Structure 1
Amino acid sequence: MALAIFDLDETLIHGDCASLWSEEMAKLGWVDAESFLDKDRELMALYAEGKLAMEDYMAFSLSPLVGRSAEEVAFVVEPYVEDVIEPLFYSDATRCLATHRQAGDRILIISASAHFLVSAIAARLNVDDVLAIDLELQHGHYSGRTQGVLTYREGKVNRLHTWLQEQGECLDGAYFYSDSRNDLPLLQQVDNPRVVNPDPVLREHAQHANWPILSWR
């Protein structure tokens, strides 16, 4: 048995759940569609270049949730995941998850997206263990602020090591699957890094390091 760790966006799914959620909020009338989605695209371009300050993206993306209850948000997230996200699951990814389950490995999804999105998507994949960006609730309503260490870049490593201690787990023989240069800090921590549909920077690093490069569809 080993730990099989998966990034979510552009690794397990063909898309980014946070940007797709922004589009969903526009459909719901929670944001001004044109200006909000333009800003989302601008920030996500910085993410792709490895230049994004995640604090800036979270402050922006959480602003429409301020004052909304967790129940109200969960009510619209469920159909969003079913209608928008499920069709984007890579079939190769679901087969890989099944292979790890058959081997008795423990599966963990770790993502730089908000926990309420990642956990809902993980549930559809029958994955119980999730590390994602935690959000502050005040009297059951979102404040627009995050909590704790953000699961982004080195923050993924920090959160993972805390989780390992809490769970009595270790990284011996662990796998990590990711598409992004932003996940290099964690890919370098595991015995079995697996690069999935990588961006150019990650592809070059993987080629030099002789890491397996997977093409998932």
Structure 2
Amino acid sequence: MNLVLFDLDNTLLAGDSDFAWAQFLIGKGVLDREVQEAKNIEFYEHYKAGTLDIFAFLDFQLAPLARHPRAQLDAWHREFMDLSVRPMITDKARALVRQHLEDDALVAVVTATNAFVTGPIVRELGIPHLVATIPAQEGGAFTGKPRGMPAFKAGKIERVETWLESLGLHMGSFERSWFYSDSHNDLPLMGRVSDPVAVDPDDTLREHARQHAWPVISLR
């Protein structure tokens, strides 16, 4: 059996669902545009530069989940899927996912974006497993804080290993393993698989891929 891991934002999606979700809430008037849009842009720039404080970002990103009932959040997310997410899913991305599923690989998305935002996206893509940052809950309501290690940078390795252990597996259980990503933030996990693939990569990852003769593809 083979293992296939996909990053989500700017990899399987031609855009960033984390950034788009905050912009969607700003557009709905749920978040204050003047204050929150500047913060959203600032965090996104830090992410691209590799300097993101993931816990400060999660305080920003998860706070709206704690302020609203789950039914309202789910209704907003359905609208978000229609307006923002489905237009970011390309035919090439769907075809690549389908290819690996038809090959009977164990397929998962591994993303720093929280599971509330990404769960419906991963289901839309037909991918059976999600390894993501988990929003903490108490009494069925979100607390606005993460639970456990965020799936970011080296945290992705920890979360993947924990997920595989829950299945009675480990990274050495597979004949081959792929990780597709666009971001240099994912170099720790890319270094752990047999077949790292750079997808529409940022400049740092593109240069790293060139130096190490990794495949570079586009799903756009």
Match of 2:150 in 1: 150
The percentage of aligned residue pairs carrying the same residue is 30
Match of 1:106 in 2: 106
Match of 2:124 in 1: 124
TM-score (norm 2): 0.95
How far off its partner does 1:216 sit? 1.8
Aligned-partner SS, 1:66: helix
Match of 2:136 in 1: 136
Is 1:176 the counterpart of 2:176 in the alignment? no
- Does the 8 Å contact 1:109/1:122 carry over to 2? yes
User: Residue deviations 1:50-105, cap 9 Å, x none?
Assistant: 00011011101222222323332122112211221011112211111111112111
Please show how residues 37-116 of structure 1 align to structure 2 within 5 Å. 37-116=37-116
Runs of 4+ in 1 over 3 A off after TM superposition: none
Is 1:31 the counterpart of 2:48 in the alignment? no
- Does the 8 Å contact 1:135/1:146 carry over to 2? yes
Match of 2:15 in 1: 15
Q: Distance in 1 between matches of 2:117 and 2:65?
A: 13
What is the letter of the counterpart of residue 151 of structure 1? A
Q: Distance in 1 between matches of 2:67 and 2:46?
A: 28
Q: Distance in 2 between matches of 1:142 and 1:2?
A: 35
- Does the 8 Å contact 2:110/2:156 carry over to 1? yes
How far off its partner does 1:151 sit? 0.2
Aligned-partner SS, 1:206: helix
Q: 1:189 aligns with which of 170, 178, 192?
A: 192
C-alpha RMSD of the superposition: 1.2
Match of 1:5 in 2: 5
Q: Which runs of 5+ in 1 are unaligned?
A: none
User: Residue deviations 1:79-135, cap 9 Å, x none?
Assistant: 211221011112211111111112111210010101011111001111120011111
Aligned-partner SS, 1:9: helix
Q: Distance in 1 between matches of 2:160 and 2:70?
A: 25
- Does the 8 Å contact 2:179/2:197 carry over to 1? yes
TM-score (norm 1): 0.96
Q: Distance in 2 between matches of 1:111 and 1:71?
A: 24
- Does the 8 Å contact 1:67/1:141 carry over to 2? no
Q: Distance in 1 between matches of 2:180 and 2:82?
A: 23
- Does the 8 Å contact 1:69/1:140 carry over to 2? no
- Does the 8 Å contact 1:174/1:192 carry over to 2? yes
